[in-house]
Structure 1
């Protein structure tokens, strides 16, 4: 737990009226203490802010609305990276370092509110000049990380992973052969991504377009120091041909590009498109693979027939596994042929790439482009995660495969009625083998809660705040329970327009049903996002059958002749209407 020592600065003038100052200790668990200016900091008896074995370090004063730190001449005390001498003024924030301990002194309320969400279990090592991130590690591993990368430490800053103001690596750890007495930039600040920043579809780290790496083409350049001997060299291009294509060291055109963080090859034209990550969240065996396989087919058809939008593979080789699942399902002649294998944790749908210095399993991104009037403007990215990746207890640092939810443009929570006690109780006697599966624990409300915790932790959002990301609560397998609804669900797409009033009306009908059967889901959803809608759909359109013979005996399989998807594309089209200008809409607030 971060030590957060809070004290109140009394009124000194109208400008300083009601001002508060906060001292955050970046290393220890702690407490809050309160005092009035002038406030002394140190270990003496009259020091309100306690730092053990320090004597009297400094005093914080507020003079005519301006804040100052007055040093008492202590050795090894640095304010804003410089040796503490005399009275030092600061605006919103200053950094304090004493004997290896790091503090933030903050007098801006909004900045202090963000600092309260600091996660000091992870620190970023970054280049001060351009904000490029080298690593994300616990504080105790920062020095080793820098040395392991062959860096001297010059020009590097460090800061908690979700807070941009930092400290000089050289001031905190020192580095051989360099005088740290004078530092040109006293307060390193992790620069925000520019308007040209893009998000890598694999590791979900932002980078500026100009930092993208090229992938060598000449066979003599096979071997990358990070990815290994079987991968082509990644490099920052310095020479180009007449068409603007990067040339590798052998003079060969090298059009392929890679993320500078994980070094994975990016889809063609990815940097020119507006990226939209669509995160699908659901419990194990909730039907995510079937839903995603059907969605791609239905979405392609609906976008073109209703809105003249062409959706096509942006990365055919990267999308190959999903394409195979889609083809297997819709070309099957028997139920056995239509079975899709459950997505295994870190199985074929995952790739192993470096992320912040560790090689981890990350879900393969399935990327598609959206074109209207012949011009591609948007890319959509989907993932087929194993449901186990969303369960509580999984270490998201060691297995970060579901962290895309924090970078997503829209989130789809796939609720499975067949594993829910309330739905199963109302559907007793319904002839669907999914309702008879024993041993399944319904923890869907827990998974939704865990998703909220992860998102707010990664984004450093207070637990009481909500995100604005569209959240679709999708109640699947509606072919078996649609008769439970108290009202009629209407098609919101007509005449090339999405009717948001119908979307809202449908959502209220479904929300009322969920409040009656499982109100915990509704309660959880409302605490996550300010933009929640409820949808019903059926990926298969019928009840599958239990196989009683053959090599797949005991498995549940779709019946190919009865596959009739219903409303599968509606949540995604709604999400696109909320995040792009591609979908014409009417109604709505």
Structure 2
């Protein structure tokens, strides 16, 4: 008999559950029953298929449940939630998106993933595919609403992320019911045209993105029964979304320079109802990372943080010399684009200077926490929202959406702190303006990337 396909699969030695972050060996996995009568899991409840540790397998390596049905789905032995197969074969990278309520996290996430789906295969020769289409269904809805809408002239808006719902799962742990986050899952793999295609097994990754409701980052919201933001301590990079339209100092600075209705002055009652202090959200997130990662108060986190300054279209006139053109360039005789790290760092310095002037507490809090810090301005829509005359709510017409720089935070994180997929280089103009020399990006400790 020829060797079955399962025997040729290369599995990781350890798998990290994207729901509860339990680390386990592949052979410890539970399997999900397929027989229709095997319903009622001890941890997930009466509506879920039974999880079990198998004793019988098919020649292809799939398990049989107790009624003899062949099963293909796997689950975490700790929380019993389903773990997609790519996580058994490719290393996972965890990324956390955090910020205050209504700061634009969901808009940013939807525009970022849509832009990456379009440009990664075309310009960087890397595919971004769903690792679990069911887990990504909420994100699919966001993308379709903004970029594939059948009525492009209709005002649309993304529903606010709630603290309960289809982005969370309820699991019974002992005597208590625990709420766990449901991440968005993607695979990143080099195509046949990528320079590292022959090293695809080493370079490929599963990306786990977490988008919590802003209320989840309020002080006291992280509990034993609702540890929905503990992914922060596992994240390879933290993306903190700062919304200038929620800051009265930014709004004052933009008077006469922005037509965005979100930049209009607000009375004190509306200001209290509409937002919370964003530095409080950032400090609470920092506190949770320190607590769950075992960091001292005076110890810098060794993983990077990106301050994503949202709604750039509404405040870009405060930095008229900063261009919103794409920060990429082509290299002669190379069909893969490269990030212009000098341009991104220069833009970061300009944005950091503006934040230092208008809201220095955000900058000082981030600098006191992260060893590597970068500030990236983004616009998830490229245009200001309009007021719906019937409802009084804000919306965007899909026809007008033109995101810019939304993909840059994740691309820069991959290029700077993860090897093998995205390149970032310095572009230094020589004495001859038509000549450009390139050198490899180096990290702060001098290691070549």
TM-score between both structures, scaled by the size of structure 2: 0.83
Equivalent position of 1:493 in the other structure: 328
Aligned with residue 230 of structure 2, among 356, 379, 403? 403
- 8 Å CA contact retained: 1:421, 1:442: no
Tell whether 2:175 aligns with 1:341: no
Distance 1:543 1:486 in 2: 18
Distance 1:257 1:269 in 2: 11
Aligned with residue 428 of structure 1, among 233, 244, 255? 255
TM-aligned CA distance change 1:398 to 1:458, over 3 Å: same
Equivalent position of 1:227 in the other structure: 44
Equivalent position of 1:521 in the other structure: 362
Equivalent position of 2:315 in the other structure: 481
Q: Deviations over 1:248-287 (max 9, x none)?
A: 2233321110011111111232211111111100100111
Q: CA deviation at 1:237?
A: 2.4
Gap runs ≥5 in structure 2: 1-11, 193-199, 331-336, 427-440, 443-449
Query: Higher strand share goes to which structure?
Result: 1
3-state DSSP of counterpart to 1:353: strand
Tell whether 2:183 aligns with 1:365: yes
Distance 1:249 1:390 in 2: 43
3-state DSSP of counterpart to 1:479: helix
Distance 2:20 2:175 in 1: 12
- 8 Å CA contact retained: 1:352, 1:362: yes
Tell whether 2:191 aligns with 1:352: no
Aligned with residue 444 of structure 1, among 278, 284, 291? 278
Equivalent position of 1:45 in the other structure: none
Q: CA deviation at 1:336?
A: 5.2
TM-aligned CA distance change 1:262 to 1:378, over 3 Å: same
TM-aligned CA distance change 1:395 to 1:488, over 3 Å: closer
TM-aligned CA distance change 1:325 to 1:572, over 3 Å: same
Equivalent position of 1:241 in the other structure: 58
Aligned with residue 112 of structure 2, among 295, 301, 323? 295
- 8 Å CA contact retained: 1:312, 1:368: yes
TM-score between both structures, scaled by the size of structure 1: 0.64
3-state DSSP of counterpart to 2:139: helix
- 8 Å CA contact retained: 2:222, 2:229: no
Tell whether 2:89 aligns with 1:251: no
Count of aligned positions: 392
3-state DSSP of counterpart to 1:564: coil
- 8 Å CA contact retained: 1:289, 1:343: yes
Q: CA deviation at 1:519?
A: 1.0
Q: CA deviation at 1:580?
A: 3.7
Distance 2:219 2:58 in 1: 51
- 8 Å CA contact retained: 1:335, 1:557: no
RMSD of Structure 2 on Structure 1 (CA): 2.0
3-state DSSP of counterpart to 1:302: helix
Distance 1:474 1:309 in 2: 23
- 8 Å CA contact retained: 1:390, 1:402: yes
Equivalent position of 2:295 in the other structure: 461
Q: Deviations over 1:197-236 (max 9, x none)?
A: 2221112222222221111222343332222332222112
Distance 1:488 1:401 in 2: 37
Gap runs ≥5 in structure 1: 1-194
Mark the structure with the bigger radius of gyration: 1
Q: CA deviation at 1:391?
A: 1.2
**In the TM superposition, what are the counterparts of 1:115-126 in structure 2 within 5 Å?**
none
Equivalent position of 1:286 in the other structure: 103
Query: Higher helix share goes to which structure?
Result: 2
**In the TM superposition, what are the counterparts of 1:176-191 in structure 2 within 5 Å?**
none
3-state DSSP of counterpart to 1:411: strand
Q: CA deviation at 1:294?
A: 1.1
